[in-house]
Amino acid sequence: MLKQSFASHNANALCFSISNPKSSLLIPPKKPNRLTSCALNVGLQDVTEVIHNKVLIAAGLSGAIGQLLKPFTSVVFYKKKLDFRTALQAGGFPSTHSSSVVAAATAIAFERGFDDSIFGLTVVYAALIMYDAQGVRREVGKHARVLNKLTANARKGEVSLKGKEGETLESDEISEEVKLPLKESIGHTEVEVIAGALFGFLVSFGVYSLM
């Protein structure tokens, strides 16, 4: 009986020494990768919920359709040549910034109600975006237009540009400091902003009517 207990004690000691070596006590346990665990937790159901998010659908559709319309509206309203590159540019008719934020605000109103605080927050956000589009960004476009003309005239020798201490700046020196020509189509007129807001409302209304 004593021999059996001694043998079992030795076996337990042997198992303990094998399963818990000294080296394992010095190596800290590896922490699981949070990014991997989060990615595994996102399943097909979560992706489906994002796809069926009406707020994102309304905002995305209004922005995408508005951008695709810009090459044609520039011909109709501004008598410009048909240029499909304007579909990737800011400015123009309609304002897709306005249409996207108004579409999102309208979708939230349909989903949560007009008395919801989140709807109020989106209205404030949309108002700031629209004010900035026809205010600050529009003025930036005007400044860019003037600077492009001054630089072009300086290259022709019609205008001399002065630096900080009165030294004359060559157009090549300006081109090295600033990428020319500057983008002029950045902001929007009041009509473009209002048209974008109305377009965003109609798109959001259509999304909630069909889905």
Mapped onto helix, strand or coil, the DSSP state of residue 169 is strand
- Write the DSSP string, 147-165: HHHHHHHHHHTS--EE-TT
Q: Computed over its alpha carbons, how large is the radius of gyration of the chain?
A: 32
Bridge-based pairing state of the strands 168-169 and 161-162:
antiparallel
Q: Which of 98, 92, 94 is nearest to 185 (CA)?
A: 92
Phi, psi angles (nearest 5°) of residue 169: -100, 130
Phi, psi angles (nearest 5°) of residue 163: -90, -160
pLDDT of 93-114, one tens digit each?
999 999 999 999 999 999 999 9
Q: What is the pLDDT of residue 24?
A: 47
pLDDT of 14-42, one tens digit each?
444 444 544 444 555 555 555 555 555 66
List, for the chain, all residue ranges whose pLDDT scores fall below the cut of 70.
1-43, 157-180, 184-185
Q: Decide if 130 contacts 160 (C-beta within 8 A).
A: no
Q: What is the pLDDT of residue 165?
A: 54
Phi, psi angles (nearest 5°) of residue 153: -70, -35
**Per the structure block, which two tokens stand in for 201?**
């409302």
Could you give the CA distance from residue 110 to residue 104 in angstroms, rounded to a whole number?
Answer: 10
